[in-house]
Structure 1
C-alpha cells in the first residue's frame, strides 16, 4: 500500500536510477522549509566530520582550500559557492603557474586532489557542487599536452613495489641484534605480510598480535573501508624474511626493555633504547608512549631501500604494493588479495597493481607462435 498523497518518481539515465517521493498535487503534505538552524553544524560535529578523513588528507585538503580562497580573493571571485567559470579559470591557473618548491606547475594528480578538496568543501558547507565540466576539459587538455611533451608529470607517480627479493636486500644489512634492527625488520615484514598502510601499521598495539599455531594473527583497523581485518602471519620459507620469526624476536626485545603493552612499533633513540616522551619548550608532543608516526615508518622503508642500493621511488606504500603484486604473481585470487589488504571493492589502485602482473602473464601474445 502506498502512502496517501505521495508517489515514487523514478528517473533513469545512463543506467543510474534516482528515486524520490514527490507530492501528487494539492492534496499532498506541506513542503517543509529548512531554517538556518536546520543548516547549522556545531564546531564539535564539524570536527567529527573532518576526523573521518586521514590526517594527511586533511592537511592536503586544507592547504588546497586555503590556496583556492587566496586565489579567489586576488581575482575578485567567490570561493564558495564557486561558479563553473571560476573552477575552469582556477584549474588553468594551476596548469601554468610554477610552484615554489619545484618551480614547475602542479602535476595532474595534484590538480585532481585540489579539485576534490574544493568540491568536498562545498558539500561540507551544504552547498551544491560547482559545475566542473570546464575545469575537467582544461585538465584533460593539460594531460594531453604533458603526454605529447613526454613530460615526467604525464605519468602518475607510483611507489616501487617491495617484492621478496628487494626485501631480502633491504634487510641484509640490518643488525638484528639491536632493538632498532629488530623493530625495522618486523616493521617491513609485518607491513608486507598484512599489506598495511603505514598509518595502519603504526596504529597497532601489542595486543593486536596474538600468537597462534600458524604463527600470529594480527588485527588491523582499515580506515578506508571502516572495518577490522585479522591477517594470518605465516612462517616464511626463508628465515631472513620470515614475518613470524621477525615479529617474535622484536616482541622479545620489547619485553626485555620492559614493554609488554602499548604501541607495537615504537621510537628507538641513538643509544638503542625506547625513546622517552618528546617535549617542545617543556610541553609534551607526540605519543607519550613512544608510538612511531606514519612518516617515521615510511622513512624506515626508504632508508633501508637506499642503503641497499635499490633504485626506484620508495615509500611506505612500497610494502602494500609489493604484497599485491607478489600475491597476484603467485596466482592468488584478486578478491582474496583485496580482502586481506583492506582494499575497497572495485579499487582502481588495486586493479592497476593486478594489471602490472596480468599484462605480461595474460598477454594476447602468449602462445600465438611468434
Structure 2
C-alpha cells in the first residue's frame, strides 16, 4: 500500500489530541490506543482516491525525485529517512554540480526546489518531521548567485511567452478556417484565451459545458487547482477574426454537421479532416474513446501556430493563460476579477508575477516625476 496515500489519511501520533472522556472510559483515560487493526486499514481504492487529489504530473515528478534521492543515499551510504541536515546539504550540492543525462547540465534552481519539496514531504508521509534544510537552502542560494553572476539562462525562471491579442491575430492569420481542424484550432486558441484556461481544463470541456447566452456563450470549467467550477461569460470581440463567440459558434456548427452533438468539445481530427476514429494498439482502444484530444495535443496546436506565424519565444499551453492575465491587467482590469475569471487561488504568486509584467511600467516611480 502506498505510504503517500496512507500518510494523507492517517495522522501521526503527535497530531492526535486527547478527546473528551465520556462515561468514565478508563481505557481511554489510561492513554492506551484501543484502535484495532481494522481501524488502521485503508483499501487500495481509498489510497488511489487520496493520491488522485494531486496532479498526475506532480506525482510523477515527485516519484522521480525520490527515486534519484534514494539512489544517491545508497551510493553515499546515508540514511534516507529521517535524513540529517548534513545529508540534505550534501545532496543539494550534488544536484548543483551533477549533469543530468537529458540536458548534460545540472538541474536548475526550480527543479532543485521541487526535489527538496519531494523529499521533505516524503518525511512527513512516513511520520517524521521535516529535515533541517538550513544548510541545503544556503547551498541552493549560493548556486543561484553563481548562475546569476555567470549570466547563465538557468538563473531566470522559464516562463511561457504570453499570447497577447496581436500574437493571437498572427497565429490565426494563416489558419485555414474552412476546415474542421482549422475551426477547432481557432476555437481552442480563442476560448483558451478568453477563459484563461489551463490546457488540461480546456480539453476537459464537453459540449454540455457550453451554453448559448444573449452575450455570446457561458462556459463552465472545473478549475482543479482551486477545486471549484467557474462559469465564464464569453463575449463578442470587436475583431471578427479574433472573436471567441464567432469562432466557437462556427466550430460547434461544424461538429453538428459531422454528427457530433454530445461528448468532448475538442476532438481529434484526422489528416482527411474527419473526426478521428478511436485509437487502437494491438487491438485495444487507447486514449479517449470519444476522441477527446489530450492536453499535450492542445499545447502542440498552440506551438505549431506560433511557429507557423514566425513568432519567437517559449510557446506552450500556458501561453494563452499568461497572455490573458497580462492583457487584462494592461487594460486596467482589477486583479481580483482577473483571478476569479482564470481560477487563480487567492494570493497566487504566479498571477502576481504576471501582474508585475505590466505594473512595473504602469506604476513605475519614474512616471510623472519630470525627467
Q: Same fold (TM over 0.5)?
A: yes
| 1:184-211 C-alpha deviation (Å, 9 max, x unpaired) | 0000000000000000000100100101
**Once superposed, which parts of structure 1, at least 4 consecutive aligned residues long, lie more than 3 Å away?**
19-23, 27-42
The secondary structure found in structure 2 opposite 1:200 is: helix
Q: 1:271 aligns to what?
A: 272
Structure 1 residue 273, shift from structure 2 partner: 1.1
The CA distance in 2 between the partners of 1:73 and 1:41, in whole Å, is 30
| 1:332-359 C-alpha deviation (Å, 9 max, x unpaired) | 0000000000000000000000010000
Q: 2:135 aligns to what?
A: 134
Q: 2:50 aligns to what?
A: 49
| 1:17-69 C-alpha deviation (Å, 9 max, x unpaired) | xx99679xxx9944354879466544323222221111221221121121112
The CA distance in 1 between the partners of 2:318 and 2:219, in whole Å, is 19
The secondary structure found in structure 1 opposite 2:72 is: helix
Q: As a proportion of its length, which structure holds more strand?
A: 1
Q: As a proportion of its length, which structure holds more helix?
A: 2
Tell me, yes or no, if structure 1 residue 319 matches structure 2 residue 299: no
Q: Report if the CA contact (8 A) 1:325-1:356 is conserved.
A: yes
Residues 133/45 of structure 1: CA separation in 2 closer, same or farther (3 Å cut): farther
- The 5-angstrom pairing of residues 1-370 of structure 1 reads 29-31=29-31, 33=33, 37=37, 41-370=42-371
Structure 1 residue 243, shift from structure 2 partner: 0.3
In structure 1, runs of 5+ residues without a counterpart are 1-18
The CA distance in 1 between the partners of 2:32 and 2:316, in whole Å, is 52
The secondary structure found in structure 2 opposite 1:295 is: helix
The secondary structure found in structure 1 opposite 2:222 is: strand
Q: 1:10 aligns to what?
A: none
The CA distance in 2 between the partners of 1:171 and 1:34, in whole Å, is 66
| 1:295-322 C-alpha deviation (Å, 9 max, x unpaired) | 1101111110011000111100000000
The CA distance in 2 between the partners of 1:341 and 1:256, in whole Å, is 31
Q: 2:7 aligns to what?
A: none
The CA distance in 2 between the partners of 1:123 and 1:259, in whole Å, is 48
Residues 169/118 of structure 1: CA separation in 2 closer, same or farther (3 Å cut): same
Q: How high is the TM-score relative to the length of structure 2?
A: 0.90
Larger deviation, residues 109-118 vs 213-222: 109-118
Paired residue total: 349
Larger deviation, residues 178-187 vs 119-128: 119-128
The CA distance in 2 between the partners of 1:267 and 1:127, in whole Å, is 47
The CA distance in 2 between the partners of 1:329 and 1:92, in whole Å, is 41
Larger deviation, residues 135-144 vs 236-245: 135-144
The secondary structure found in structure 2 opposite 1:337 is: helix
Q: 1:12 aligns to what?
A: none
| 1:261-290 C-alpha deviation (Å, 9 max, x unpaired) | 001111111111111111111111111111
The secondary structure found in structure 1 opposite 2:219 is: strand
Larger deviation, residues 160-169 vs 80-89: 80-89
